[in-house]
Amino acid sequence: MIRRIDLRGSQLPDYRTAVPRADFDIEAAQHVVEPICESVRDQGEPAIWAYSAKFDGVDQQSVKVPASALATALTQLDPDVRAGLEESIRRLRKTCLAELESGSETNFGPGARVTQKLIPIDRVGLYVPGGLAPLVSSVVMNVVPAQVAGVRSIALTSSPQKEHGGLPHPTILAACALLGVDEVYAVGGAQAIAMFAYGAGPCRRVDLVTGPGNIYVVAAKRLLKGLIGIDSEAGPTEIAILADHSADPEFVAADLISQAEHDPMAASVLVTDSEPLADAVELALEAQVAATKHQERVTTALSGQQSGIVLVDDMEVGLDVVNAYAAEHLEIHTTNAAEIAARVRNAGAVFVGPYAPVSLGDYSAGSNHVLPTAGCACHSSGLSVRAFLKNVHFIEYDEAALLEAGRHAEHLALAEDLPGHAAAIAVRRRDS
């Protein structure tokens, strides 16, 4: 079901080439999404209606979700699900409030000051996948940090569902109502990103788009980046587990399956120095996969090129491997989990010990589950309050302060052969 990659005895200069990863060709998908985005730009809402009919099988007359549908969805929400959402919101909001940074002020002497202010982005568009699974948790993960950051205008979109009268999944609508988001659209795929980027129908253009999606959503985000800001180019979800002999194979197998459940292209990778553990995990996978609901999807993901059990000589090499892989989610199942975790450099989020599974982080750990994939964790961070804030410098100098610092600026401007720059300073000291 899941292949093995034996790196024992190997000394590779770059372990990234040895660890499995999905073939995710965004450039190829861009050729598909480009005409979609152009149609939405040129034709507006009618283009979206046409794509909703083509891709989702729904007949639309408006992409805007009525307020009554939001209210009804919240009224009909299962009490246990509501309690779960409320706890997830509470925990994430607490984390987000702790993340809030204050500005800074630097004084260089009388009349010379640079102030850094954190300013919320004016308007954001949040994308919530609604394909294989209605990711209601992604509503929470996108909305809460935007609200805590102080974003004034929040629009959210999710795919229209034929079985729900052309509206997004009712649990997604209920979560929006619970969070006070009243601008919600029934649009999915590349056309949703184009709607946010250009504005279409009742939806005004946004400044930033966040949230995960399929390859066509990612391709549209890449295509329109610059016109809009984006959080990341999120590929298929992935988990890496670094485990030694002390790990519980049942726990490890369950966590590999939980990630594979997302998507046939999802990646589940175990890195271990224990062959007995690898054997036990394989046995546990056979039993647990046979009992899981989405057996076909899970089996496809686990048997794909993006998944595998990687055998290494020891935990030192194992740590090198997972740092090279830079997983979206990294679990540490070792005797000294906290010590190992402290040495992780590259991961979207690190789950320390056997009782901190990724599933907890997906919902109610208080962390954000919108994370960098495809190795991007080596240079990018997960979604947080910071994604919805801009750092802006305010420069205040009086005449005397300019005269003191300006001569240095003049010399540097002339060194760059930009005499106009120097003149813009010199003109201010003509009378001094």
Tokens of 281: 């995990």
Write down the pLDDT at residue 340: 97
Q: Is the same domain home to 284 and 351?
A: yes
Predicted local distance difference test score (pLDDT) of residue 172: 97
Which of 192, 212, 233 is the endpoint of a domain? Answer: 233
222/319 same-domain check: no
Q: Are residues 199 and 304 in the same domain?
A: no
Q: pLDDT-derived band of residue 179, with 50, 70 and 90 as boundaries?
A: very high
Residue 92 lies in a domain: yes
Residue 342's pLDDT band (boundaries 50, 70, 90)?
Answer: very high
Indicate which residues carry an active-site annotation. 328-329
Mean pLDDT of the chain: 94
Number of domains observed in the structure of the chain: 3
| Residue 131, in any domain of the structure | yes
Q: What is the pLDDT of residue 132?
A: 67
In the predicted structure, residue 23 carries a pLDDT above the cut 80: no
Across 10-29, average pLDDT: 81
> What percent of the chain has pLDDT above 90?
86
112 and 44 part of one domain:
yes
* 248, pLDDT greater than 60: yes
Q: What is the CA angle 322-326-329, rounded to 5?
A: 90
**What pLDDT score was predicted for residue 67?**
97
When comparing pLDDT for 172 and 17, which is higher? 172
pLDDT for res 431? 61
pLDDT at 133 over 80: no
Identify the residue with better confidence: 101 or 47: 47
Residue 361's nearest CA partner among 324, 331, 319 is 331
d(CA 168, CA 188): 9
Q: Are residues 195 and 282 in the same domain?
A: no
Give the contacts of 116 (CB within 8 A, at least 6 positions apart). 103, 104, 105, 106, 391, 392, 393, 394
249 and 226 together in one domain: no
pTM of the model: 0.92
pLDDT higher than 80, residue 131: no
CATH number at residue 257: 3.40.50.1980
Q: Do 91 and 202 lie in a common domain?
A: yes
Q: Does 378 map to a domain?
A: no
pLDDT of residue 234: 79
Do 200 and 327 belong together in one domain?
no
Where does 98-214 show beta strands of DSSP type E? 104-109, 112-120, 123-128, 153-158, 184-186, 208-210
Same domain for 362 and 406: no
Structure tokens that stand for 267 in this block: 């990646």
Interval 107-114 mean pLDDT: 95
Q: Are residues 263 and 214 in the same domain?
A: no
Q: Give the separation between CA 95 and CA 105, rounded to whole angstroms.
A: 25
Q: Are residues 15 and 46 in the same domain?
A: no
Average pLDDT value for residue range 417-422: 96
Mean pLDDT, rounded, for 332-343: 97
The answer as to whether 377 is a domain residue is no
- Quick one: pLDDT at residue 13? 77
**Residue 240 domain flag:** yes
Please check the confidence at residue 260 and state whether its pLDDT lies above 70.
yes
Where is average pLDDT lowest: 48-52, 132-136, 348-352? 132-136
Residue 167 three-state SS? strand
Q: Which domain holds residue 220?
A: 26-233
For the residues 63-72, what does the mean pLDDT come to? 97
Q: How confident is the model at residue 432 (pLDDT cuts 50, 70, 90)?
A: low
* Final residue in a domain of this structure, among 210, 233, 256: 233
Asked if 248 contacts 266 with a C-beta cutoff of 8 angstroms, the reply is no
β-partners of residue 203 are 200
278-308 per-position pLDDT tens digit = 999 999 999 999 999 999 999 999 999 999 9
Residue 394 has pLDDT above 90, yes or no: yes
Which pLDDT tens digit goes with each residue over 193-239? Answer: 999 999 999 999 999 999 988 889 999 999 999 999 999 887 788 99
Average of per-residue pLDDT across 410-416: 97
Question: Is 374 within a domain?
Answer: no
Instruction: Kindly report the number of other CB atoms within 10 A of residue 112's CB atom.
Output: 17
**For 82, what's the count of Cα atoms within 13 Å in the CB-facing half-sphere?**
11
Is 404:427 a contact under the CB 8 Å cutoff? no
Same domain for 327 and 224: no
Asked if the structure places residue 30 within a domain, the reply is yes
Of residues 308, 312, 236, the one with CA closest to residue 268: 308
* Boundary (domain end) residue, out of 175, 209, 233: 233
139-167 mean pLDDT: 97
- Region of poorest pLDDT, from 10-19, 123-132, 390-399: 10-19
Q: How many CA atoms lie within 13 A of 167 on its CB side?
A: 18
**Residue 359 is assigned to a structural domain of this protein:** yes
Closest to 156 in 3D by CA, of 123, 116, 131, 133: 123
Instruction: Compute CA distances 430 → 111, 403, 407, 427, whole Å.
Output: 19, 10, 13, 6
